[in-house]
Structure 1
Amino acid sequence: MLKTIADLLVETKLTIQCINAEEAAVKCKEMQGALIDVREPVEAAQQAVNGAILVPRGILEMKMLTLYPDADKAIFVHCASGVRACLAAEQLVRMGYNNVWAITCKLDAICAANS
């Protein structure tokens, strides 16, 4: 049976940590974490998030080990709506990262929390 993105998100959210923008901003600062933007470069150019590192979802697995070789590094993943963030967080957990959160709210809230 084929699964819709909604089906995948339900399953994914059972295996990852989700957080809202305000909590993520505080926790990321406290933990000296990394804020990762998994949107495409054109999206980030249109509306950047203060302090975020752009690592598009399509190359996440290829870049993260180089950028963050510490499995215990706190990583907060965001996109425009939370969908790609959840899928990216799931993949980072599968890669062995221990402290990963998906920011599951809209981009405007993420921008406001990190201004």
Structure 2
Amino acid sequence: MLKTIAELIAEAQSTVNGINAQEASMKCSELNGILIDVRETSESAQQEVKGAIPIPRGVLEMKMLNLYPDEKQAIFVHCASGVRACLAAEQLVRLGYENVWAITCKIDAVRAANHH
């Protein structure tokens, strides 16, 4: 039986750590973490987030394993609305990363929290 997008997102949200943009900014600094922008390249170019590493969701697994081989690396994932971030965080956990958070806020909040 096929699942709806809402069901898929609900499942992902139940298995990943959700965090708001302000808390993510502070925790990322404390843990020497990385902020990953999983939006498409054109979206990232239109609304940059200071300090974010652009890795589109479509190539996330392949890029992350090469760029960040430490499973203990603190990773904070954001997108435009929190949906792709949640799905991407779920995939990173499936890959074996142990410290992953999905930023559940909209892009404006992420940009405001990372303006410094």
- The match for 1:38 is 38
**Equivalence map 1:1-115=2 (5 Å):** 1-115=1-115
SS at match of 2:102: strand
What letter matches 2:77 in structure 1?
V
User: TM-score scaled to structure 1, two decimals?
Assistant: 0.98
Gaps of 5+ in 2: none
What letter matches 1:93 in structure 2?
V
Between the aligned partners of 1:104 and 1:70, the Cα distance in structure 2 is: 24
Q: Give the C-alpha shift of residue 65 in structure 1.
A: 0.9
Q: Give the C-alpha shift of residue 76 in structure 1.
A: 0.1
Between the aligned partners of 1:50 and 1:4, the Cα distance in structure 2 is: 34
Q: Give the C-alpha shift of residue 82 in structure 1.
A: 0.5
> Superposition RMSD on alpha carbons, in Å?
0.5
> How many positions carry a matched residue from both structures?
115
Query: Deviations for 1:60-114, whole angstroms, at most 9, x for unmatched residues?
Result: 0110011111000000000000010000000000000000000011000000000
Between the aligned partners of 1:105 and 1:5, the Cα distance in structure 2 is: 18
Q: Give the C-alpha shift of residue 3 in structure 1.
A: 1.4
Q: Give the C-alpha shift of residue 2 in structure 1.
A: 1.7
Give 4+ residue runs of structure 1 displaced > 6 Å after superposition.
Answer: none
What letter matches 1:46 in structure 2?
Q
SS at match of 1:64: helix
SS at match of 2:100: strand
Q: Give the C-alpha shift of residue 9 in structure 1.
A: 1.0
